[in-house]
Structures are given as structure tokens and as C-alpha cells.
């Protein structure tokens, strides 16, 4: 009954869905492409069966790297299908995997669309990375005998409150999954409180992401462009954060330190450049690929997929999405690169990783832009503190590796018990 009401609501929202795609396409023209896939219409059928992995956007797609590699080792004769919801996720997937996997948009959760999706791709089993639950899709998989696993699952208290508003639908959807593996005990407890029958805890597979050698080399190139200036990178910043950070930087900065701003979303590069100009600060863009002028105040990281390079080049990093209520972007990559980490107050998307990094001395947390900038400016000349945080960050990242292998072993055991 709950799913029927949900489906009816989806149909009523269909005009809004179309308008939403059109609206998004004004800033990201890629949203005009592959509309058929979003409604379950795909091109030539690939040899079946495939292994289907769903990674909604950029973070999940990057997190899927070790999972894809491990599944390829165990199932070398099967194609991997990687589905997304956003163009940026799809673009990152193309950069990471090329033609070694199939890629498509996941069909919207209309029964006829998910039916066409499953009929076309015929997955042997599916793995949803992190937490994106589509009731009709999961119900259709169960009806067709397609096991679906929720891997690297996380659920903040904020998200749990939303799911509790639709408790019957949430419970039936979670119970239709073939298994759930959470990042941390707190995630598992929230999922079980929503009705999940049993949740395993294997850690966060983002700890298993390798640092690409070519990105480290690019970071050394960035450092050569920057020169010897002390450098503070604000990584994956979200809308509203840049203005606060720029104001604090302009007010507090002394000496010749350089601020690098790397917005989370590429469609905002020009808007952030305008914020810098409005404050009378001198700007250069990474895309110019020129040496950073000594008079430059802000270097704009207007590129995608180069975060490791920015961390390699910088002396201190702030992790965007943590200053305002976005729950933080990924701090693990910065720690693995040995860059001292500063966090704002909002870390619910990486609650366990943030708590562990803070406890192990790899990160520090502040509650305002002014305090973040003050902390960065204090660390920049303090080689001893930065070295200690760098070593702690690398040790922290190494200590928590292994979730991918545990997850894949669990999936294989579950499939074996089911006779697959």
C-alpha cells in the first residue's frame, strides 16, 4: 500500500521531473543528453548477465573504484554496468574506467522504466554504493530474483529523520535488499531502527582508494607553479562557503600566503571567480597553467578530478561542505596525501572518519570561517605541527584500509548461500 502511494506521487511529479531536467540543463548542458535512459530506454543490448553497480554521483563513483577492481578479479567473464544519476558522476566514471565498464543513467523509479532497465541489462546482481534507495527498483529486483546489496552504507541522523517520515515504505524497501554493509556502527544502528533485518559493519571503502601517481606528479607541478609560498587549499567548497572564507582570508591574512579555492561543482567556477573579484582580490585560474604570480591572492582550482594534486601541492587543507550544513566532503583523500586537515562543524556525511581523524591527530575542527583561517595561518609557518599532522593522516588512512575485500567476500558468501 505504501509503495502504491509512493508510485502515484511519482506520476503526479512527472511534469516537475521534466522541468527539473530542463532547469538543470541551463547550467549543465549534459542534463539534456540521454533522456531515454532516465526512462528505461537504452541502446544495443550488451551480453548478459552483467554485474550492476549504482554510484549516484561523483563521490560514490570514486568510491566504487576498488569495488569495481575487486569484482573484476572475482568475476573476470562478466561485464560491469555502472549507473549514475548525475552528469558529473558519469563523466568521472568515463575518466576512471574508460570503456572497461558499461555506463548509463539509472532509470527513474517508475515501474515501467525500472522494468525496461532490468530487462535490457539483465544484471546477475546489483550493488548500490552508499545509500540511495529506490523502492520500485528494489521491489522489481526482488520479484525477478536479482539480489541487490547496499554496500558502504551510511545514514546520518538527518537522513534517518527523513526516512522515518515514510517508515512503512522504508522498512519494506530495506527488507527487500539481499544484504546491507554499513560504514560504521552508528550507521548500522540507524538502518536497523528503520527496519533493516541485519546490517554488517565493514568500514569505509573510501580508505581503499589509491592515490593516482599521475595526480601526485601533477601536484608537484602545481607546487612548482606556486613556488615557495605557504599555501592553504579550500577543497570541494559548497555554495555559501567561499564568501565566508574569502572574507576571513581578506581580513586575517598576512605575508605572502596563497589561498586555493576548489569549488565542488564545476558549474560554479565562474561564480566563485566573481566573488574573488568583488573583494578586489587578484585571481588566477588553474586552467591557465601558468606560474602563479607573487601578487596573486587566490588561485582558482577550476578543474575536475585533480583533488589529489591540490592536496599534494598545499601545506594545509580545509574540507569543504563542513563549514555550512552540508555534512562535509571526503577528508580521507587529504589525510592519505599527508595534507593536514581542518574541518568545520558539519561532518555528518563522514561522522566516523572525522571523529577518528580528530582523535588520531590528523585533523582539527573549528566552528567558524574566521577560526578556520586563523588555524590555517597558524599552521602554515609551523613545520613541526604540520609534519605531525601529516604523519598522523597517512597512518590514519592506512589503518582503516580493507573494507573493500571484506565487502566483496560478504557478497560472494551471500550469493553462494543463495546458490548463485
Over residues 351-405, the pLDDT tens digits come to 999 999 999 999 999 999 999 999 999 999 999 999 999 999 999 999 999 999 9
- Give 185-193 contacts, CB < 8 A, sequence gap 24+: 186/351, 186/352, 187/153, 187/154, 187/155, 187/352, 190/155, 190/156, 190/157, 190/160, 191/153, 191/155, 193/160
Q: Mean of the pLDDT values across residues 147-157?
A: 96
Range(s) of the chain covered by CATH 3.40.50.11720: 28-203+402-417
Known catalytic residue at 60: yes
DSSP strands (E only) in 10-121: 50-54, 79-84, 102-105
Range(s) of the chain covered by CATH 3.40.50.2000: 213-399
Percent of the chain residues past pLDDT 70, beyond the cut: 99
Q: How far apart are CA 242 and CA 244, in angstroms?
A: 5
Task: Give 239-271 as a 3 state SS string.
Answer: CCHHHHHHHHHHHHCCCCCEEEEEECCHHHHHH
> Is it the case that residue 240 has pLDDT exceeding 70?
yes
> How many residues does the structure list for the chain?
420
Cα R_g (the chain), whole angstroms: 22
CB atoms within 10 A of CB 312: 21
Q: How far apart are CA 23 and CA 106, in angstroms?
A: 20
Q: Locate 126 and state its grid cell.
A: 546489483
Assign a CATH topology to domain 28-203+402-417.
Answer: Rossmann fold (3.40.50)
pLDDT for res 420? 75
pLDDT for res 157? 92
pLDDT for res 277? 96
Q: Mean of the pLDDT values across residues 301-308?
A: 94
pLDDT for res 49? 85
| Banded model confidence at residue 1, pLDDT cuts 50, 70, 90 | low
Query: b/e map of 325-351 (b: 16 or more CB within 10 Å)?
Result: ebbbbbbbbbbbbbbbbbbbebbbbbb
213-399 maps to CATH 3.40.50.2000: yes
Torsion (CA) 260, 262, 263, 265 in degrees, nearest 10: 160
Question: Largest Cα–Cα distance of the chain, in whole Å?
Answer: 66
CA within 13 Å, CB half, 71: 24
Marked catalytic residue, from 60, 130, 241, 333: 60
- Give CA separation, 264 vs 37, 326, 374, in Å: 26, 12, 23
Q: Locate 284 and state its grid cell.
A: 588566477
Amino acid at each position: 500500500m505504501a509503495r502504491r502511494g509512493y508510485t502515484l506521487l511519482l506520476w503526479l511529479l512527472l511534469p516537475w521531473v521534466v522541468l527539473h531536467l530542463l532547469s538543470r540543463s541551463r547550467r549543465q548542458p549534459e542534463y539534456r543528453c540521454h533522456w531515454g535512459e532516465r526512462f528505461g530506454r537504452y541502446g544495443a543490448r550488451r551480453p548478459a548477465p552483467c554485474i550492476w553497480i549504482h554510484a549516484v554521483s561523483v563521490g560514490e563513483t570514486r568510491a566504487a573504484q576498488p569495488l569495481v577492481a575487486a569484482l573484476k578479479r572475482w568475476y573476470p567473464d562478466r561485464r560491469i554496468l555502472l549507473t549514475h544519476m548525475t552528469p558529473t558522476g558519469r563523466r568521472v566514471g568515463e575518466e576512471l574506467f574508460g570503456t572497461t565498464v558499461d555506463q548509463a543513467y539509472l532509470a527513474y523509479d517508475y515501474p515501467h522504466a525500472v522494468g525496461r532497465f532490468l530487462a535490457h541489462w539483465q544484471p546477475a546482481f546489483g550493488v548500490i554504493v552508499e545509500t540511495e534507495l529506490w523502492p520500485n527498483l528494489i521491489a522489481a529486483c526482488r520479484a525477478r530474483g536479482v539480489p541487490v546489496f547496499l554496500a558502504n552504507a551510511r545514514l546520518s541522523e538527518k537522513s534517518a529523520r527523513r526516512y522515518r517520515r515514510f517508515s512503512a515504505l522504508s522498512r519494506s524497501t530495506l527488507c527487500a535488499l539481499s544484504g546491507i554493509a554499513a560504514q560504521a556502527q552508528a550507521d548500522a544502528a540507524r538502518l536497523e531502527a528503520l527496519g533493516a533485518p541485519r546490517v554488517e559493519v565493514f568500514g569505509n571503502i573510501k580508505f581503499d582508494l589509491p592515490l593516482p601517481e599521475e595526480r601526485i606528479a601533477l601536484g608537484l607541478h602545481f607546487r612548482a607553479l606556486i613556488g615557495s609560498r605557504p599555501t592553504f587549499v579550500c577543497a570541494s567548497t559548497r555554495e555559501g562557503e567561499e564568501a565566508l572564507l574569502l572574507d576571513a582570508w581578506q581580513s586575517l591574512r598576512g605575508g605572502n600566503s596563497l589561498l586555493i579555492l576548489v569549488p565542488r561543482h564545476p558549474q560554479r567556477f565562474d561564480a566563485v571567480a566573481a566573488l574573488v573579484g568583488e573583494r578586489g582580490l587578484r585571481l588566477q585560474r588553474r586552467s591557465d597553467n601558468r606560474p602563479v604570480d607573487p601578487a596573486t591572492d587566490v588561485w582558482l582550482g577550476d578543474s575536475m578530478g585533480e583533488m589529489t594534486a591540490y592536496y599534494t601541492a598545499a601545506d594545509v587543507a580545509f574540507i569543504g561542505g563542513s563549514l555550512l550544513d552540508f555534512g562535509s566532503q571526503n577528508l580521507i583523500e587529504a589525510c592519505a596525501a599527508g595534507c593536514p586537515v581542518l574541518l568545520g562543524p558539519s561532518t555528518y556525511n563522514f561522522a566516523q572518519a572525522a571523529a577518528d581523524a580528530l582523535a588520531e591527530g590528523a585533523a582539527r575542527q573549528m566552528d567558524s570561517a574566521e577560526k578556520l583561517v586563523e588555524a590555517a595561518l597558524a599552521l602554515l609557518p609551523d613545520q613541526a605541527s604540520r609534519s605531525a599532522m601529516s604523519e598522523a593522516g597517512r597512518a590514519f588512512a592506512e589503518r582503516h584500509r580493507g573494507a573493500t575485500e571484506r565487502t566483496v567476500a560478504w557478497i560472494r558468501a551471500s550469493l553462494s548461500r543463495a546458490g548463485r
